[in-house]
Copies of this chain bind each other. A is one copy, B any other.
């Protein structure tokens, strides 16, 4: 596994049930998988030689982050090693411009867009404000995405290739997780609905089932399945969607790995996204994606204003509630908005779960 962060950690927790040995490469010597992986190598995911050397004696190479050296993965594939998601898929996902072109080419719905090579070209286009500006490469967790409101916003822009998108007046933000194995079998999870924190520009709150019509649910699932089939991808894929006021669905972006919007599947579905990813990349039969129980997921982010050894406030209070499952990621130090863990709240009544979720989000603070 390229990357040894929280996604790798939860993946290993489940891979253990199949006695699959997971080896991790991560640039952080203290990454969450440090003690947990069968072996842990400290090194760059972007360095060609490091990635080739790491992968060359493995059966299957996978990722928990998109920002890895794709050329190295091509080389590993040439050497006969299974690489899932495939390097070609990662190349598309790493570049939001290629992503948009892929949607266009495959007749997949997405907001209208334009590509520019840099800041100067962008300014010269005189595009009417407001619009959304995204780095073509290197964005992550909201980093590299901003809304351009006036010419004053040009000042702080770095000079990099951009995707320019129309503002989508969406009513809901949805996510659909799909998986596909080498045999071409694919499965789709029930749609999840996201609530974003405008401050942190991160998912703050997620719940499933989404509160949408059956028709929208069906359409969202179809789109997600069409994405993974068009990519011919093997592995798990999160498809982030916008739902507009007139029930149109537009693809925002995709992530070819276990995803924040699928964490609730650990408790709420017969097969978690992590186990599903494992099943798909070893070409095992895919598991049931059915929801056993509704769930709400809250990210635990480092409290703004605190940096240092993490302290969890009111953790005991939170875990004394029924159906509240805490997942800490094993990161020793916190900083503002750092993803330190998540909490899943699950049980029969979604409205109750949401209420508990809001209480838990207020109670559980990560300070230093």
A residues at B contact (CB < 8 Å): 9, 13, 16-19, 21, 35-39, 270, 279, 284-285, 287-288, 290, 292-293, 316, 319-320, 322-323, 325-330
B18 touches A9 (CB 8 A): no
**Residue of chain B at shortest CB distance from A284:** B316
Measured between beta carbons, the chain B residues less than 8 angstroms from A18 are 326, 328
B319 touches A285 (CB 8 A): yes
B287 touches A328 (CB 8 A): no
B288 touches A17 (CB 8 A): no
A16 touches B284 (CB 8 A): no
Complex alpha-carbon distance, A292 and B346, angstroms = 10
Complex alpha-carbon distance, A16 and B274, angstroms = 15
Task: Knowing that A17-B326, A18-B328, A35-B38 touch, tell me 18 more A-B residue pairs with CB under 8 angstroms.
Answer: A9-B16, A13-B13, A16-B330, A18-B326, A19-B328, A19-B329, A35-B36, A35-B37, A35-B39, A36-B36, A270-B323, A284-B316, A285-B319, A287-B319, A287-B320, A287-B322, A288-B323, A292-B292
Known: A285-B319, A316-B284, A319-B285. A36 touches B17 (CB 8 A): no
Total copies of this chain within the assembly: 2
Complex alpha-carbon distance, A180 and B36, angstroms = 29
**Residue of chain B at shortest CB distance from A17:** B327
A325 CB, nearest partner CB in chain B, Å: 7
A320 touches B285 (CB 8 A): yes
A293 CB, nearest partner CB in chain B, Å: 7
Measured between beta carbons, the chain B residues less than 8 angstroms from A270 are 322-323
Complex alpha-carbon distance, A290 and B347, angstroms = 11
Complex alpha-carbon distance, A212 and B18, angstroms = 34
Measured between beta carbons, the chain B residues less than 8 angstroms from A285 are 316, 319-320
Complex alpha-carbon distance, A133 and B19, angstroms = 38
B21 touches A35 (CB 8 A): yes
Known: A38-B35, A279-B319. A330 touches B290 (CB 8 A): no
Q: In the complex, which of the residues B16, B288, B322, B327 contacts A322, with contact meaning CB atoms closer than 8 Å?
A: B288
A181 CB, nearest partner CB in chain B, Å: 11
Per CB-CB distance, the 9 closest pairs between chain A and chain B, nearest first, are A285-B320, A288-B322, A19-B328, A35-B38, A19-B330, A17-B327, A13-B13, A270-B323, A270-B322
Complex alpha-carbon distance, A293 and B293, angstroms = 10
Complex alpha-carbon distance, A270 and B267, angstroms = 9
Measured between beta carbons, the chain B residues less than 8 angstroms from A35 are 21, 36-39
16 A-B contacts, Cβ less than 8 Å apart? A9-B16, A13-B13, A13-B16, A17-B325, A18-B328, A19-B328, A19-B329, A19-B330, A21-B35, A35-B39, A36-B36, A284-B316, A287-B319, A288-B322, A288-B323, A292-B293
